[in-house]
Structure 1
């Protein structure tokens, strides 16, 4: 398994008008794609070339210590938390969403001033040496959209969107994140139908 090999050290692209960067995408109840059914996806980047995001509510049957063991990384202690299935694209590669740190990672960029995305293994070594970011989420794989694909899916009423919320991402139990995000819009995701609009 190849992990933590894909990222750019370049700064995040400027927001476009209508960009969903730093937003959650909530799958609508009629979603017929099993890759995204009942998911919350955090959009890391969205520009004229497309969009990239990480699913944040699908824990795998793997925890951080399993990942360290698989990668052969030594660790003093590892905060035991789930590793997430981040999406169907390159799901043999790892991505960490995390709060800012003073350290400069090999492959990382700041999405906002409160959240960064790192894909280099040096951050895992730091986590294993008790130098973990204050908050972090490890995922394998990501979700990707081509140019104008996400815009079309929004028009087709496939997703709800709302501004991202770090408490939901890092502190809310995974099984509650979809409804918690929907609640920020004042809706109950379970009561929506295929006729509902999008935010």
Structure 2
């Protein structure tokens, strides 16, 4: 009898040094869904060069109102035109998935309207696209020196600057990222 699979919803994936896919070097992925069918996460470590949140609201037909003009995150390479709001659990509405007790993921215009009206979640970020894996794909990458499955550190997702989240997440794990090797040994 094989052991039960370890699902990673509510955890953070950290790209290991030597990551085989250049799109994910120093990536910090908030895992939102992981089950026998596959996995979905939002990369919180990268932002679009010039795309801003208020422009996205206007494009979606939502008056920007009180919404700050923050950068838009690159959530991942899958469906890069689809928007997601990763946020604190103090807001929930239509199209919201609560991921444990640390964060939630919303994908309807309800959350966009709430943010624009000043009644949205206390902490949030907007991302276009997501990071996805098919059935068994993530498990294979975890076995081949791609990712570290960190604990769910909610403060890492929203507080440090995106380019500092990778180091902050390793610190939250009690690991100095400068000491990580880019290759694994062979016995």
> How far has the Cα of 1:72 moved from its partner?
3.1
CA distance in 2, matches of 1:149, 1:103: 30
Alignment of 1:40-51 (within 5 A): 40-51=28-39
Partners of 2:146 and 2:169 in 1: how far apart?
Answer: 16
- Select 1:71's aligned residue among 42, 47, 60: 60
Shift in Å, 1:196: 4.5
Report the counterpart of residue 167 of structure 1 in structure 2. 155
Give the drift of 1:186.
Answer: 2.5
2:93 is aligned, of 98, 104, 113, to 104
**Secondary structure in structure 2 of the residue aligned to 1:182:** helix
Residues 16-66 of structure 1: CA distance to partner in whole angstroms, max 9, x if unpaired?
A: 742111111111121131221221111111111111100001011222112
Q: Does 1:117 align with 2:105?
A: yes
Query: SS of the counterpart of 2:24?
Result: coil
Structure 1 residues without counterparts, runs of 5 or longer: 1-15
Q: Is this contact kept in 2: 1:42–1:53, CA < 8 A? A: yes
Task: Give the Cα–Cα distance (whole angstroms) in 2 for the partners of residues 102 and 190 of structure 1.
Answer: 37
Whether the 8 Å contact between 1:96 and 1:137 is mirrored in structure 2 is yes
Name the counterpart of 1:5.
none
Q: CA deviation at 1:70?
A: 2.6
The CA distance in 2 between the partners of 1:89 and 1:103, in whole Å, is 24
Give the whole-Å Cα distance in 2 for the aligned partners of 1:101 and 1:144.
26
Name the counterpart of 2:46.
58
Aligned residues: 181
1:74 & 1:115 partners in 2: Cα distance?
26
**Aligned pairs (5 A) from 1:1-199:** 17-60=5-48, 61-101=50-90, 104-105=93-94, 107-196=95-184
- Confirm or deny: 8 A CA contact 2:39 2:138 kept in the other structure: yes
For residues 91 and 103 of structure 1, the distance between their equivalents in structure 2, rounded to whole angstroms, comes to 24
RMSD of aligned Cα (Å): 1.8
Find the aligned partners of 2:161 and 2:73 in 1 and give their Cα distance: 12
